[in-house]
Structure 1
Amino acid sequence: MPQVFPTVCRTQLPHAVGAAYALKMDRKDACAVTYFGDGGSSEGDFHAALNFAAVLEAQVIFICRNNGWAISTPTSDQFRSDGVVVRGSAYGVQSIRVDGNDALAIYGSVHAARKMAITEHRPILIEALTYRVGHHSTSDDSTKYRPVDEIGWWKLARDPVTRFRKWIESKDWWSSEAESV
């Protein structure tokens, strides 16, 4: 069975490419995966990693969680492009944009990306558009730069767990009664 080797943090993007290239050189039926936020796409490591991956045709999946904020800096102050997905295309990296609040869309995108990365020996960038309802960290108070009612609306209307639950309930695969047992 093909394997996936994950790394987390924007500073590990080049490391993931190196791991993916090693998998390619060893002819492994596997890929590396790395996760980062939209703010990480404004760092030099992101650009170096995407270029490195594209040139080497390394089997790596870059997953960007674009929640619109790099701590307290909005994406409009980070870049003028249409999100992160166009940056991947600029480097010749196959890029996918997905609703990051839709569990099934995320699953399908990652599944397709993994298959492409492994069978085609190529890097893939996934940009998951989402929203951060909590603070960035314990030292952050996001209500200083985002309206409280906006955060509340996202919790109520777009929560991915609630959306997925409604979907499985619509298929009669789950119910409140089943949960209480």
Structure 2
Amino acid sequence: MHQTLTLNPLKMEDLRTIIIVSLSSLMAYLSPINGILFAVTLAFVLNFAAGYLSGMLVNKEDFNFKKAFSCFSEACVFVVFVAAVFAIGEHMDNAGEALVSISIVTHVVLYFYAVNVFKNLKRMFPGSQWIAFCYWLISFEFVKKVPFLESFLKQRKEVSDGKN
């Protein structure tokens, strides 16, 4: 007698279980950088909300899927980059150094998100002195304290001016 092997099709609840187990395993693996991922997620949400509200209230723009996708993609690139640096560092037995690198990159990302959030807040609340001061402080005065940041921003402006 010949038996045939039949595979049952994957049920939706099986797929859901696989996804939940996979995400839970990934989150457990990345638990040493959960705080960093949470901080950047919060900054991403604030940046997205401030940009959306600024565009809607100040510029009278409708929701722009292209801008939203760009913002979301940038956040995804950061998460994938950080997870990759963590995994590589851990597998090279350099988890501590990987965390230092991740911390530096995270502070850079948080700085640029903060500048963008305050720029959008300044547009929404042009009469607010504390918002204007915070924007001025982090976008101009802070740059003076980090010489290579000033060079980078100047170079980037020159490149973007050449494109226009």
Q: Does TM, scored on the shorter chain, surpass 0.5?
A: no
Bigger radius of gyration: 2
Question: Where is the helix percentage greater, Structure 1 or Structure 2?
Answer: 2
Normalising by structure 1, we get a TM-score of: 0.26
Normalising by structure 2, we get a TM-score of: 0.28
Question: Where is the strand percentage greater, Structure 1 or Structure 2?
Answer: 1
